[in-house]
Structure formats: C-alpha cells, structure tokens
Structure 1
Amino acid sequence: MRIVLENFDIQKIRADFPILGRQVNGKPLIYFDNGATTQKPKQVIDAIVNYYVDMNSNVHRGVHYLSQISTDAFEVTRRKAQAFIHAKHDHEIIITKGTTEAINIVATCYGRPFIGKDDEIIISAMEHHSNIVPWQMLCDEKGCKLRVIPMDERGELDQNVYRQLFSERTRLVACTYVSNALGTVNPIKDMIEVAHSHGVPVLVDGAQAVQHIAVDVQALDVDFFAFSGHKMYGPTGVGVLYGKEELLNKMPPYQGGGDMIKEVTFEKTTYNELPFKFEAGTPNIEAGICLAHAIDYLNNIGLESIRSYEESLLAYATEQLSAVDGVRFIGMATHKSSVISFVVDGVHPYDIGVILDKLGIAVRTGHHCAQPVMDQFQIPGTVRISLAMYNTKEEIDTLVAGLKRALQMLK
C-alpha cells in the first residue's frame, strides 16, 4: 500500500531506514518499540560516520581547524533545536544527555535553591520514573512534599483536582506532555496557565511529544521543557533542556569542570554565561552534531504530515486489535498519541512479547518505567505498541495475526 500525504511518501521514508530491511528470526523486522527508541535514517547514520571521518575534535576548546568546524556544527544543532521548539534565544537551549539528565538539572539547580522544607511539587499519576524519582530525591533532601494529580480509568488527568492541589506552598509543577505508557496527550497549555495563575513555574517532559507534535515553547509559555534525541530519530546520549533565560540565569551550575567556567583560581571560580554554565566537560559531540540532522529530517517531512499519518495508523491499529478476543486496552483517552497499551486476561504480557519476537515483531512489555500507572490499573504491565512514521497498516495486520497465534498457544 502506498500512502502519500503532503511531503509524505511512506515507501520513500521506509527506504531511509536501513534496519527496516533486516530480518529477525527469519522474518522481516516489524518494529513497534518506538516509544523506547526510534530507528535512525541513513541521513543521521551518514552524519555520524562523517563526523568521525572528517571532523573528530573537541569543541569550544581549540583554535585549530577541526576544532573550529566541530564547534560550528555543534552550535548549529543548538540553533536548530531553538527553531524546532521556537525558543526565544539559542542560549536557552542546554545540550544534555537526554530527558532524564535535563529533569535532574532542574531538580538540582532549581529545586535545591528555591524549594524548601514543607514546600510542594505537583506531578501527575502518569509520569515516567525520570519525572518522579528526581523529585522524590529532592523531597528526601529538603523535606518538601509531592502532590499527585490523579488519573481516571481512561488514562486522563483529573483537571478539577489539579486546580485544587495548589496552595501557598506550591513551588513547581512537573508533568509529561504525552504519556509513554498510555499515549495520553495532556492539555498542557491549559495546565501551564493554571500553574502560572498561582505564580508557579512548570517543567514539561516532552520526550514522547516532539516527534509527534509541533511544539512552541513560547506559545505554551512553559518554563522548562525537556526532550531526547534518540526518540526523534536521532542518536542516543543527547537531548535538550529548554529553560526561560531569567530562570536559567538564577540557577547555579549542575556540575563543575571545563567549559562551564570563565576563570578559575584556587580562591574563586567565575562561572560561564548561558548556555555553557550547564554544559561541563566534553559533551557527546558526535550525537550533539548529528541531532541537527534528525531535526532536519523531521522538518523536511513535516510534523503535521507525520501527525496525520500516525493518527491514521493509531485508529487502524486500535480497530484491528479491538477485534481480537480477550484484548483489553489500558488507557483510552480522548486525545492520544500513537501508543496502544493492552493486556489479555490470564496471559502475561511478557509471554506475548516473546512469541511476537519469534515472529520478528518488536513490542515492549512491562511497566514501561511507569510503575505507578500499572499499580493504578492493578496489572503487572502491558504490551505496548508504539507507532512511528515508518510503520504501515500491513505491519499492523501482521501484528494482529501474530497476536492471535500467540494467544492460541498461551491460552
């Protein structure tokens, strides 16, 4: 089947991803684990090779040619990331190892100075562990408290309760844009407006959003926004923390070392300006440079075309899976991204995943680093199908057939 939207040709796109041509257990690979990490197009792979062949050098440190071209390429990524999420300034873009490090930077550098004993941090019931544990660690250290926005049986946050959670002690809201376990798309702009009406800043975990949804941090008026390269067709080990300039300027550095300093003596150190204040040591240069190529790839296809195509896949997969006897969906929010989580009563998700793997079909099973979500639904985990722009309806048909075969064996 050939599906073409504006600037979107599925066969051409699939041809850009070399790994999709390989076999697993003698079967063509069908990759439905994109929520964990996406595959990489040859444009990104070629850029990685090119860096080591033609550019390899440290950045921000040298006057020689290779250092200069590597530095220039690294800073191109910063500017492209700025444009990608519509930040006001390129120095509001901090290059990190990924979303987890970005959240930890905020928990450490904003949390420690500005959140104290008996203060409160609001998070949601659907957070990834990386947006729970750093705040728990801060609470243990500072004596502050977590307040949790509850979630209903559809996997939607209770916005009425959210409004009631604010008090004079509320110091921060940290919430995911899109649930990695359920696919729920939260009304994040409205939630930011509510928090700001109380004078409370907001951090948004955008790891599952930026590859599916166009993000404008200025339109959202979000205070901090974090995302990872490897979930948006880029390399692992690189991500972005966006922060409003005035907040980042108030925050102390995350780590000490090279590049984050202006002057060092044994008596005193003067810290560097933004963004370098938060980028101590040699970064993952290759990944940092090549993230720009992933951003270019998404921009060339167009996020609106990607969103439309993935929505059609999500609707088709939901319809086809709902016809399989025994399948029970976990999380049926009105607004969803391209994630389907399901269980089959009497069958462990792990067993389904193992059999599907034998058929060349890669899915994720378990709690997806969102164990409180599973606890709420009183299940050990789910089978998660996370779709990407290179997936097809034919692959979904193969998945459904494979699932029926697996259930015949397991029931």
Structure 2
Amino acid sequence: MNFKYIKLNPSQLLVVVFLFFIILGTILLKLPISTTNFISWTDALFTATSAMTVTGLAVVDTGTAYTTFGQCVILILIQVGGLGIMSFAVLIFIMLGKKIGLKERLIIQHALNQTSLGGVIKLVQNLFIYSITIEIIAMLILAIKWVPEYGWEKGMFDSLFHSISAFNNAGFSIWPDNLMRYVGDPLVNLVISFLFIVGGIGFTVLSDTWHKRSFKKLSLHSKLMIVGTLVINLFAMMIVFALEYHNPKTLGTLASLGDKLWASYFQAVTPRTAGFNTLDIGSLHEGTISFMLLLMFVGAGSASTGGGIKLTTFLVIVLSVLTFLRQKTQIKIGNRAIKVQIVIRSLAISTISILFIFLAVFILNITEPDPFLKILFEVISAFGTVGLSMGLTASLSDIGKIIIVFIMFLGKLGPLTFAFSLATPKHDKIRYPNEDVLTG
C-alpha cells in the first residue's frame, strides 16, 4: 500500500480505484457463469456500478438474471462499495503488519470524509468490527423467518444477501417484488430498516456513541445526525400515512391498521438511500413522490454507506438561512458555532449536485419518452444512491443507462470529490479588497 510514487491527489486516486472495481465487476458479471441468460455489456456495467455505488437500481431482475455466482459478485461489490475500498486496503495491510504512511492516511481521511487525520485508522478498525457484527446478527435473525420458508440453503443465502444489502444501503433484493411480500411483517420491517438506518447514520456516529455512551458527551455532528434522523423519519412517516391512507393502489389495499403503519414507516425511512420498498413506488400519489424527492436528495449521514448531499449538509444550509433571516452574524447550535468554511462547503456540495441533476434530467428528457416526474425521480434516486424507481430503469435506452451510471458514480463519490479529481484546489494567499454585489 505504497502511494509514494503515485502522482494523483486523494480525489483522483479514489476515482481511479473506484472505476477499476466497477470495470472488474462488469467483466465478472458478463461471464457465462454469472448469468442465466445473455445480458449486454451495458447492463453488466449498469449492475456493477449500481452495486459498487450501493444504489440498487436494476435493469434486469437480480434473482432470475444472475446465478448464485453472479449474485455473490454483486454482494462483494456492495460490501466493498459500502464500507469503502480504502478501508479494505487498510484492513489488509494492518493484518500484514505493514506501516500506513501519511499519504495513505490522507487518502483514507478523504474517502471517509473526516475533518482530521487523528484516529482514521482506529475508525476503520471499528468500522469493520461494527459492520460484520451487525450483519451477522441480522442475518441470523432474518434466517429465523426465511429458513422455514425457503429451506436451509436458500433461506441462509437470502438472509445473508439482504443483511449485507440493507446495512450498506444498497437496496438490492433477489425477489422481483423487492420486499412487497413482507409489507406487514414486523420482523422483516424492523430488521431491514434497522440495518439501513444504522448503516446510513454514519460510522463516525456509531463509534462516537459506542465510546461515549452519553448523549451529552457526543460530538455536535453525532447529536445532529441522531436528532435529525429521528425527527425526519417520524415526520416522513406521518406524511406518507396521511397522503397514502386512501390510495387504493398502496395503503388502501391493506386490511389492518397495523399493516398500514408498517408500510408507512418503511416507505418513510427507505428514501434515506436505502432503496428497499414494500409498496409499489409507481403507484404512490404525486404528493408522496414529491416529498420522497427531497428525502432522497438529502440522503444519509457523512462517512456512512448512504449517499445524497448528507443530512448535516442540509441542516447547515437551513440553519444558515434561519441565521440570515434573524439578522445574526454567527450560526449557532446550542453553545457551539459553525465555521463559515463549513457553510461554504455545504453550499458548494448542494450547488454542484443540483447542476449535475439538472443536466442529467435535461438529457434524459431528450433521450427517453417517459414523463418528467419519472425521469426526475430516477435521477435523484441515482444521485442519492437510493435505488427506488417508478418503473423507468428497465426501459431506459443505452444512452439513458450511461447517464444514470454516471449519476450513481457521482452520488457515491460525492460532488466535491469528483470536482477535486478534475482540478486540484489551490489556496489563494493574496487577500483582495471587498466590494458589494447586489443580490436578491
């Protein structure tokens, strides 16, 4: 793991390594041993990218188009993509007793979106311990449900597949109806949602919570993520329940109030980059779809398995607006102030994201015959690495698939990482005089 002679900055190296694994995954998925029927190179690339970026959008049915070997390739791509390529590299070199230098630590810091170098190696070690432990426990719990239904071999594999897919916020399922057959099942709803909520809240928060075990002692980032996640999920559940209660194609078809509540809860939390669904997304009211667009765009937490602009980025922008409206000069949360650089970074992330989403929607509106809302939903789902679809994915043209592949890639790496990979940022040492510009 010696990057001493590599003339790439951390952002460029991450892009190159990510592309390498996507290409490798594409080749493996194109092998005859991976598929039950012929699939094109474009479909193999789309699937590999969707798995590596832990998105979950699928142009072919994962359970029928791919053999067990092909599904295992997808599963490995999900695990590597979710936990991070550099994290796996660190683990291997720690096991081999190799020294991890400064440049390697900088790359890991960049990959995990950390603000400092301190503790990045320890974070990687904790990341693997938490991840593998949670996935194994979840697999065993799901096996209690699925082994009696499908037998030992299939039941255990299905449990493993969905456990890894859920924790990494991938949304891949080996059933054509995703999880719609378990719309009212408490065990499946709780385990799967617990996995993608914990995976999406961020490894920094998990590590912070485990070591401090007191809400008051947690960092500001951890407090924002925990409170923000609880509030948004509860509010989203109420919105889905209210809008879909009388919809004859979704909640209206469910007999009991319990099933309606479970379905509302699951559809409320899954747009936070999870990608699983227990209701037909294409049958939801347009009001519900519009609300989901916001949830998918915001996404999960930093240093998590999820995508989107990230919850903390969204909260910083909202707090900045409130601070401006109150005519205050300092953005405060409790007894802590937020640096101006963080606000600028949040605005940069959001602006670049919106520009790429607009460009993708513009091109797809030319190449695809589908309605605008379907296209917008598909693009934001790809950017947020969510994986939900209104039924557009399978009918995309080859150009449309390539556009979505790029947006998934952008969403996983992050807009700033992608931008920095194209141009190395330079620090301006010269200060210039101020002058006002009329705005608003």
Alignment TM-score, normalising by the size of structure 2: 0.24
Give the structure with the higher percent helix: 2
Give the structure with the higher percent strand: 1
Greater relative contact order: 1 or 2 (C-alpha under 8 angstroms, separation 6 or more)? 1
Alignment TM-score, normalising by the size of structure 1: 0.25
